[in-house]
Structure 1
């Protein structure tokens, strides 16, 4: 592990000089500063951000709290946050709450103990008072709240687009999968789809679920075709559930999309790799992450903020699990 002493030796200066360069504290000549920066780059030296923040009583650390890192949607959000934060000279501390209040509170304490200057959260407890003790900026991501700045996609429109896609492509017996009730974006998607289905000349049923996990998705797919065997169109609560439904339909000998059409939600990378590739509603996950980081950093820097609720658009991605999709074929 490279130390500050190694940098000083490489640059031919004292440790104190390297420290002044790192902390931008005290005079250092331009030539000397350049030598130190070249040594840092050559040795790939990374200063201890926590120690430096304690020394300077300031920090370049941001806390990022996600609900489930195993869901492929959230790493896309995280990458957007990380790229924008790094561009502005900040680093991330990552927490995974597993949708558990105690774990979420513990991570908040960990963030504060490590001197973070702001927090981005994609969890579901912003309105439960869990963040009220924070005295640092907080931005919600993929979530909304009247109490905090937020960056999110238009979930209600996403639900409408999914329902319209199946209605326009001739589905007559549609199953709408309702996501977990405690996840606000899931309820917005559900309400958007209901608006369209309620006004269309189709029969539709609702299957309520309480999880987005891989293991649970398989069970929802099995239940769907057991309870609604004549379903010819499915609006999945997310892509994980959509892919599970696709697999179960094929296992039962149903043709996709001739017998059953499926629309997912999120457009995770795996949706285009499924067979057949999954039609879905694309959320701009990476862009959401970047916008959340931009908003938080402006708050940290106490810059003027004109918009504290940033809504990004969604789009229907027409692949092979809906009729008329790209390279449409029967399986």
Structure 2
């Protein structure tokens, strides 16, 4: 008997489509040894085409009274993501849910990762920029909440981050403090400014601050140290440096210290994200902070709503300007 088009695909359907046994499907979906790379890919392709979702309950991964959210993040070495993950885990726990954490920066096969993830969770939320159109199909039928998407995707809920109001407040603050020349440190793989940098440049131009753009190779403190060190070695020295994120800003503070440049007396330094580490350096870091608790609350609420049958929603959380000693 052929499968009805509207019926959920089973492991036997995948096995038949791939021309393999049920046991081979299990091995391929769980990245187990004993099958070739070609066979594994054929099974994954069949699973994607059939929109197959393995039953996490049938596999005994969790108890039926404990529901699971899948949290996808970019890079655990960036403190922003552990801080956000902590907020999500705490919020989900208050609703009686568990969280499965996935770090995509180390994934060698995004498709296999998503296939495995969807078999273990009831909904997916987080940073999904690594998921392209082909991989996106692997999440068809899943409740998905994307945090800070570049483009809102059809069928996915989202929580966007909006730094624009805080950026305008920062620009006005810097102009009032006498800043006339600023440098925005971006992290991008193209010469034109990214979203954050473009927004900052526009806000500074509106208040009459001359702003230039430099590119750091990575969004790390080490890259900030190297990039800002080069900026300080050139002439003229800017009055303010606004970094892509707090990590780059921490590197900028170190570069200023090594160059004998007083912060904020000679150069004001600003970050973005609001990491807790920024409150424990000298001088304490001024930043455009993300309200992690609010982002987590909105994302979890949307995910649980989707699981319960609510329609897709799109929400926005604004950054806030946190003035400390560095600016």
TM normalised by structure 1 equals 0.72
Q: Secondary structure at the match of 1:161?
A: helix
Query: Which sits farther off after the overlay, 215-224 or 260-269?
Result: 215-224
Write the distance in 2 (CA, Å) between the matches of 1:228 and 1:95.
Answer: 44
Q: Which has the higher contact order (CA 8 A, sep 6+)?
A: 1
Query: For 1:197 and 1:293, how far apart are their aligned partners in 2?
Result: 35
2:221–2:252 contact (8 Å) kept in structure 1: no
Match of 1:154 in 2: 162
Distance (whole Å) between structure 2 residues aligned to residue 294 and residue 65 of structure 1? 16
User: Secondary structure of 1:175's partner?
Assistant: strand
Deviation at 1:144, TM superposition (A): 4.6
Q: Are 2:300 and 1:289 equivalent residues in the alignment? A: no
Matched residue, 1:174? 182
Instruction: Name 2:44's counterpart in structure 1.
Output: none
Alpha-carbon contact 1:156-1:191 (below 8 Å) kept:
no
1:133 aligns with 2:138: yes
Cα gap change, 1:55/1:263 in structure 2, threshold over 3 Å: closer, same or farther? closer
Unpaired segments ≥5 residues, structure 2: 1-55
Matched pairs, number: 267
SS at structure 1 position matched to 2:262: coil
Q: Residues 312 and 55 of structure 1: is their aligned pair in 2 closer, same or farther, counting only changes over 3 Å?
A: closer
Query: Is 195-204 or 86-95 further displaced after alignment?
Result: 195-204
Q: Name the SS for the 1:176 alignment partner.
A: strand
* 1:176-191 matches, cutoff 5 A: 176-180=184-188, 187-191=194-198
For the Cα contact (< 8 Å) 2:125–2:303, is it kept in 1? yes
Match of 1:124 in 2: 129
Q: Which has the larger radius of gyration?
A: 1
Is the 1:242–1:263 Cα contact (8 Å) retained in structure 2?
A: yes
Find the counterpart in structure 2 of residue 13 from structure 1: none
Alignment of 1:97-246 (within 5 A): 97-98=104-105, 102-113=108-119, 115-126=120-131, 128-134=133-139, 135-147=141-153, 148-180=156-188, 187-227=194-234, 230-246=237-253
TM-score (norm 2): 0.73
Question: Counterpart of 2:260?
Answer: 253
Aligned twin of 1:329: none
Q: Provide the C-alpha distance between the structure 2 equivalents of 1:88 and 1:260, rounded to a whole number of angstroms.
A: 46
Given that 2:224 and 2:248 are in contact with CA atoms closer than 8 Å, whether structure 1 keeps it comes out as: yes
Name the SS of the counterpart of 1:133 in structure 2.
helix
Distance 2:297 2:235 in 1: 41
The Cα offsets for residues 3-29 of structure 1, whole Å up to 9 and x where unpaired, read as xxxxxxxxxxxxxxxxxxxxxxxxxxx
